[in-house]
Amino acid sequence: MKDFRITLPVVAYKNKPVHIGILGTRIYIEYNDGRNFFILDNRWLMVLAGLLLYLAWYQGNPPEKVTNVYHIYKEEKPIELTAKEVFDNDEFLLVSNEAKDSKATLRKRFLIEKQKLIFKYTTKAGVSRTDQLSARDLLDMNQKISELFVQLVFSKVNPAPHVNRFFTDTTDLDKLETALMEQAKFHVPASITLAQAALETSYGRRVIHNNYFGIKDKSSSTSRSTTTEYYTAKEAKRNAHKIISKKLIKSNGKTYYKCLVKDHFMAYRSPWASFRAHSVFLASNSRYYKLFTGGKNYEAWADKIGSSKHGGVGYATSPLYGNLLKSIISRYHLDLLDH
């Protein structure tokens, strides 16, 4: 009998291939990179025959390929800080090859149509930038861009009802249009404004005093509200008078106290006033000047705006703040509104 040697396609030992072969009149199995080798007797030949039958069947009936991958925020051990602990995201994101192709097509189509609108308005006005448009033309253009975004992109990503309501309900404020207007005037990316508003209010489910951005009231003139802060041991001691409860957690190799605190937050006459105050807060505070040095790249903004303990400018104390903003922006394609 002619000698031969094959690699078993579905069998492995310590992540290394297993080989079977014939040497003279004997059948053998070799594994662990040749360090283990044994000859098969008649009993093993019967097992081998069964295995070969299975392999023959497997080749003709391979399992279906899994094309859908689900990304879910999962709560880890209590001691380790996770995204789910910070932001109660009760949805999951479906990603597949088909979905990626579809979303890429939607993004491209929207960007083309948006650029047509921008070109139309700037050309008609004889200007080169959108922030040079008159207030009336800028508002009209941004209204159309908002409608286009909802129609071509946002409605296609199947947002949960409360998410859809947050971004599309215009009863009190057209958030998309307002973020675009603030972007033109103060150069804060619309995607960052919208993601922060969504994160700080849990998609509008917790709005206190029309405050959409968690801006504190330093004068302490408002009533106190409950919020979560992440303090070092020193900070926890300094803010002990605010803390209701605390839990020791770890994130990115660092230890913090996740604290439930009572603090004062700014009150605004309307949601629009809150959006404007947010723009002014970032644009006029020297603490945040670094945010404006990299253009409107939302990832750079998100990385810089987070906790000062992780190299950010310290808008929030959560060590996951920047990553959560990027997740929201990416998920709902809010970066398409930046220009």
Distance between first and last Cα of the chain: 73
**In sequence order, what E strands does 72-212 have?**
93-95
Instruction: Give the SS3 label for residue 86.
Output: helix
Q: How confident is the model at residue 62 (pLDDT cuts 50, 70, 90)?
A: very low
Q: Is 273 exposed, middle or buried (0-12, 13-18, 19+ CB in 10 A)?
A: middle
Digit-coded pLDDT (tens) for 115-132: 999 999 999 999 999 989
Predicted TM-score of the model (pTM):
0.71
State the pLDDT at residue 195. Answer: 98
How does strand 93-95 pair with strand 69-71? antiparallel
CATH architecture designation of domain 83-215+266-337: Orthogonal Bundle (1.10)
Percentage helix, strand, coil for the chain under 3-state DSSP, each rounded to 5:
50, 20, 30
Task: Give backbone dihedrals phi and psi of 231, rounded to 5 degrees, phi first.
Answer: -115, 150
Could you tell me how many residues make up the chain? 339
State the pLDDT at residue 295. Answer: 86
Separation CA 24–CA 1 (nearest Å): 6
Domain ranges of the chain: 4-60, 83-215+266-337, 216-265
Q: How confident is the model at residue 10 (pLDDT cuts 50, 70, 90)?
A: low
State the pLDDT at residue 96. Answer: 45
Who wins on pLDDT, 9 or 117?
Answer: 117
Separation CA 218–CA 325 (nearest Å): 25
Mean pLDDT of the chain: 83
Identity at 63, one-letter amino acid code: P
Neighbouring-strand partners of residue 211: 208
State the pLDDT at residue 37. Answer: 62
